[in-house]
Amino acid sequence: MITAANEADVAATVLFYGGYSLGFSEMKSKVLGHSAETDEWYPFDKAKEMEQNLKAAGADVTLHLYSGTAHGFMEEDRPKYDPAAASMAWERTLEFLKRSLPTTSML
């Protein structure tokens, strides 16, 4: 994520279940993050720390927490799939991309 998001021609980055904590001072893209309330791979406190670091570096970032969800809530073939949370995350993602990408984009 960090390498691509630092490129001038990358306008938007969407994260599901986590992120990274390096290179925020070079961030060029807007960032939308979706985090599970309970995530054994990337706890929400780490996601909040990432969000704070991005904002401190001047990045445009929005982070959503999905209450009652676990890592994998977006994946239909997983036992932790949450259809309501997944639907909301997709809606937010598509709206974010429509707002963030140039009008010449294929979206």
If 0-12 CB within 10 Å is exposed, 13-18 middle and 19+ buried, where does residue 99 land?
exposed
pLDDT (0 to 100) of residue 5: 55
Q: How far is CA 96 from the centre of its chain?
A: 10
For residue 38, the number of C-alpha atoms closer than 13 Å in the C-beta half-sphere is: 6
Q: What is the pLDDT of residues 7-23, one digit of tens each?
A: 567 889 898 887 665 56
Q: What is the pLDDT of residue 77?
A: 93
| Domain annotation for the chain: domains and CATH numbers | 2-100 (3.40.50.1820)
